[in-house]
Amino acid sequence: MADQTPRQQRTDERRRRILAAARDRADAESWAAVTTRHLADTIGYTQPVLYGHFPGGKAEIMLAVALEGFVDLTRQCRAALSGRDGRAAIEAVAHAYLEFGSEHPAVYEAMFLQPIGARFAADDTAADLRAGFDVLSEAIGDRGDGSTTEVFWSALHGISELERAGRMRIEHRPHRVAELGIRFAAEPPR
């Protein structure tokens, strides 16, 4: 970022502060508690300054948080996949995905539960979203149309949400992940 002007650096820093404040408030109290007024007060700026950075307000802020989340989730899953294949790859990526959801509940919610306007499974799907899907696909060896990856992803998402809601005991996560490993490693290549 050495090639940025001081003004660009200040703008980027304000954006980071706004996003961090939104994530912190959402983690503590939910996205419903995130308001532009609260964010402006938290970072010490006026609401017009906040809207200068995010003209779409809260919706644009959630989208930015979600897109950063996809980058982070992909990085975490890619690191888990590194050097592994078969069942070991599937289980490592599953654990990484579920840990991300547990460690970053507000980000995960913005990514998958809030209406952020991001399109999945379309020709114009954003590259960061596609990369996250691709690492899941690579982990299970899906060489088809992506349907098997969608089933894997939906299983991970379901486990994540059910654990968060207290409907599944988190201490049983290793058993569920092992079951995913067995079932998806047994899937014949396409």
44 shares its domain with 97: no
- Could you tell me if residue 125 is inside a domain? yes
CATH code of residue 6: 1.10.10
Looking at the fold, whether 112 and 172 belong to one and the same domain comes out as: yes
Overall domain count for the chain: 2
> What average pLDDT does the chain have?
91
Containing domain of residue 101, as a range?
A: 62-185
Structure confidence at residue 2 (pLDDT): 60
| Residue 143 lies inside a defined structural domain of this protein | yes
Q: Is residue 51 part of a domain?
A: yes
Q: Of 16, 31, 55, which one is at a domain's C-terminal end?
A: 55
Q: Is the domain of 153 the same as that of 174?
A: yes
Residues 147 and 172 in one domain: yes
Task: For residue 66, give the CATH number of its domain.
Answer: 1.10.357.10
Residues 51 and 137 in one domain: no
Global pTM reads: 0.88
pLDDT at 68 over 70: yes
Q: What's the pLDDT score for residue 74?
A: 96
Instruction: Indicate if 77 and 33 belong to the same structural domain.
Output: no
Q: pLDDT tens digits, residue range 34-52?
A: 999 999 999 898 999 899 9
Long-range contacts of 31-40 (CB under 8 A, 24+ apart): 31/62, 31/106, 31/109, 31/110, 31/114, 34/58, 34/61, 34/62
What is the secondary structure of 88-148 as a DSSP string? HHHHHHHHHHHHHHHH-HHHHHHHHTS------SSTT--HHHHHHHHHHHHHHT--SSSHH
> Tens digits of per-residue pLDDT, 123-163?
788 888 899 999 999 999 998 899 999 999 999 999 999 99
In a domain, 190, yes or no: no
Is the pLDDT score of 78 beyond 70? yes
The residue from 14, 35, 55 where one domain ends is 55
Q: Collapsing DSSP states into helix, strand and coil, what is residue 141?
A: coil
